[in-house]
């Protein structure tokens, strides 16, 4: 591969975007020998979000490429919009419904069809131009599905968090409430970006993020704190991005702890993409840019997963939840385009420090 630069990476990412506007992704479980191409909106939206955030530091030609990629992605978003036409979004296509696309077994069962979620919805809103009415509608919709609202009450978190009226990952009526630190960080980013009115749900969501860092739970039990990401490094990356983008008094007290833990995670990380991600988090937190060797980046991209789905995560029964963090009952998602975007973020830091 040619010498790495942001412009080269952006051109390469552009070459990966399909005619449908989506970036290819793969879901895998290596223990089961499971490997499928996956059609989802998540990796396309977060790749566009990452590129848009570094847009001002690249050449005019690459700015135009980013805009073109964003426009093509936005054309695909309606395929993932709520099946009833509401302004929430699903991980998989809803029109028609295609859960576990390209699979042989799970796609045949309604049990494995998932509801819309805050992660995909936040990223679609952040990479498109929702109207003020749509933004305010979303804020109200979030409250309807937060913990403690209507019949929704979380059971699968630490006991001292069960009272929190934080946002749930899911919008579904029949899906259990789920707290995920990374998904919460993304939705809070959306709320602060659009300056939406804050309420108790936001306060409690911020408390959850602050507490898992202060107590060290996100290091000791990352799966319990963020079951759809399940790694401390990913939680640091998401919270640091939120902290750096906005002045949030509720998160000010964990700034130094995030820095200390990011350095510790960086010492332990063996995958170059993960190292780049942690270096980006540290720079966002005001630290000097750590130097990362990119010598093995091509092979490391092939083994880096950003997102997981636990087949037992949604269950509330304690005896099932006991096994939910085991890799044999998890799918891992890989996306080359997004991994390159994370490397691009790291190289952008180098430009900022020149």
- The tokens describing 327, both together, are 């890799």
Distance (Å, whole) CA 277 – CA 266: 9
pLDDT score at 119 = 98
Q: Can you name the CATH fold of 6-353?
A: Glycosyltransferase (1.50.10)
Read off the pTM.
0.93
Please state, in angstroms and rounded to a whole number, the distance separating the CA atoms of residues 55 and 67: 9
Residues 6+ apart with CB under 8 A from 326: none
Q: Give pLDDT, residue 354.
A: 42
Low-confidence ranges of the chain (pLDDT < 70): 1-3, 99-113, 151, 310-329, 349-354
Mean pLDDT of the chain: 90
Alpha carbon 75 to chain centroid, angstroms: 21
Distance CA 203, CA 240 (A): 18
15 C-beta neighbours (distance < 10 Å), count:
9
Residues, the chain, total? Answer: 354
Tokens (6 digits) for 348: 């952008």
| pLDDT score of 193 | 98
SS3 290: coil
3-state secondary structure the chain: CCCCCHHHHHHHHHHHCCCCCCCCEEEEEHHHCEEEEECCCHHHHHHHHHHHHCHHHCCHHHHHHHHHHHHHHHHHHHHHECCCCCCCECCCCECCECCCCCCCCHHHCHHHCCCCEHHHHHHHHHCCCCCHHHHHHHHHHHHHHCCCCCCCCCCCCCHHHCCCCCCCCECCCCCCCCCCHHHHHHHHHHHHHCCCCCCHHHHHHHHHHHHHHHCCHHHHCHHHHCCCCCCHHHHHHHHHHHHHHCCCHHHHHHHHHHHHHHHHHHHHCCCHHHHHHHHHHHHHCCCCCCCCCCCCHHHHHHHCCCEEEECCCCCCCHHHHCCCCCHHHEEEEECHHHHHHHHHHHHHHHHHHC
Q: Contact 163/176 with Cβ under 8 angstroms?
A: no
Can you give the pLDDT at residue 322? 54
- Say how far apart CA 165 and CA 188 lie, in whole Å: 14
Q: ω before 266 within 30° of 0 (cis)? A: no
**pLDDT score for 105:** 53
Q: What is the predicted pLDDT for the residue at 138?
A: 98
What number of H helices and E strands is found in the chain?
A: 15, 4
Burial class (CB in 10 A: 0-12, 13-18, 19+), 175: middle
Please name which of 147, 153, 159, 156 lies closest in space to residue 215, comparing C-alpha atoms. Answer: 159
At 285-334, the pLDDT tens digits run 999 989 999 999 999 999 999 999 865 555 455 544 454 555 555 789 99
Contact assessment for residue 82 and residue 88, using Cβ atoms and an 8 Å cutoff: yes
């Amino acid at each position: 591969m040619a010498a790495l630069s942001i412009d080269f990476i952006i051109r390469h990412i552009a070459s990966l975007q399909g005619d449908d506007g989506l970036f290819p992704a793969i879901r895998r479980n290596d223990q089961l020998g499971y490997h499928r191409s996956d059609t989802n909106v998540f990796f396309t939206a977060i790749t566009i979000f990452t590129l848009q955030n570094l847009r001002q530091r690249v050449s005019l030609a690459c700015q135009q490429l980013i805009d073109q990629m964003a426009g093509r992605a936005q054309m695909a978003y309606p395929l993932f919009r709520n099946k009833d036409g509401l302004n929430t979004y699903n991980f998989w296509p809803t029109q028609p419904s295609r859960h576990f696309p390209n699979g042989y077994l799970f796609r045949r069962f309604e049990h494995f069809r998932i509801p819309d979620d805050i992660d995909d919805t936040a990223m679609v809103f952040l990479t498109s131009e929702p109207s003020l009415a749509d933004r305010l509608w979303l804020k109200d919709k979030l409250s309807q599905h937060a913990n403690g609202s209507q019949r929704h009450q979380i059971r699968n978190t630490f006991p001292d968090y069960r009272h929190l009226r934080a946002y749930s990952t899911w919008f579904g009526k029949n899906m259990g409430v789920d707290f995920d630190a990374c998904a919460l960080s993304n939705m809070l980013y959306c709320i602060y970006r659009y300056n939406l009115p804050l309420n108790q749900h936001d306060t409690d969501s911020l408390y959850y993020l602050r507490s898992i860092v202060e107590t060290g739970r996100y290091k000791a039990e990352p799966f319990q704190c963020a079951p759809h990401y399940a790694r401390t490094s990913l939680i640091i990356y998401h919270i640091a991005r939120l902290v750096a983008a906005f002045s949030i008094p509720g998160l000010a007290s964990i700034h130094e702890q995030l820095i200390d833990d990011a350095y510790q995670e960086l010492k332990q990380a063996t995958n170059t993409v993960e190292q780049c991600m942690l270096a980006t988090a540290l720079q966002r937190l005001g630290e000097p840019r750590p130097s990362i060797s990119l010598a093995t980046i091509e092979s490391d991209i092939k083994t880096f997963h950003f997102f997981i789905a636990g087949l037992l995560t949604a269950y509330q029964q304690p005896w099932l939840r006991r096994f939910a963090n085991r890799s044999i009952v998890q799918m891992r998602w890989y996306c080359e385009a997004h991994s390159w975007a994370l490397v691009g973020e790291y190289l952008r830091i180098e430009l900022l420090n020149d």
